[in-house]
């Protein structure tokens, strides 16, 4: 699932163990989507909710670093 915020986005996805194909957690990724997808940050969390919250926080940090961009409330 990818959530867009202007020229940036965060994405969360389940992590599958390569050997067992069992779910082993969640990953979030922060992208600059324009002009092309550029991965800026990533991380992992135990639950979907934790990954979504961490993704939102990381995206807000990226937006604060960019002049003229304001994070969504």
pLDDT digits (tens, 9 = 90+) for 1-51: 888 888 899 999 999 988 998 998 999 999 999 888 899 999 999 999 999
Average pLDDT over every residue of 55-61: 93
Residue 70 has pLDDT above 80, yes or no: no
Q: Does any domain span residue 61?
A: yes
Q: Does any domain span residue 70?
A: no
12 in Cβ contact with 51 (< 8 Å) = yes
Structural domain of 30: 2-65
Kindly give the residue spans of alpha helices, DSSP state H, lying in 1-73.
Answer: 48-65
Q: Does any domain span residue 42?
A: yes
Can the peptide bond before residue 51 be classed as cis, meaning omega within 30 degrees of 0?
no
* Number of domains into which the chain is organized: 1
Is this structure's pTM higher than 0.95?
Answer: no
């Amino acid at each position: 699932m990818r959530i867009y915020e202007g020229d940036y986005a965060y994405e969360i996805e389940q992590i599958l163990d390569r050997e067992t194909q069992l779910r082993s957690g969640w990953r979030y990724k922060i992208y600059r989507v324009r002009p092309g997808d550029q991965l800026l940050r990533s991380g992992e969390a135990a639950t979907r909710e934790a990954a979504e919250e961490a993704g939102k926080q990381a995206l807000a940090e990226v937006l604060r670093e960019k002049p003229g961009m304001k994070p969504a409330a």
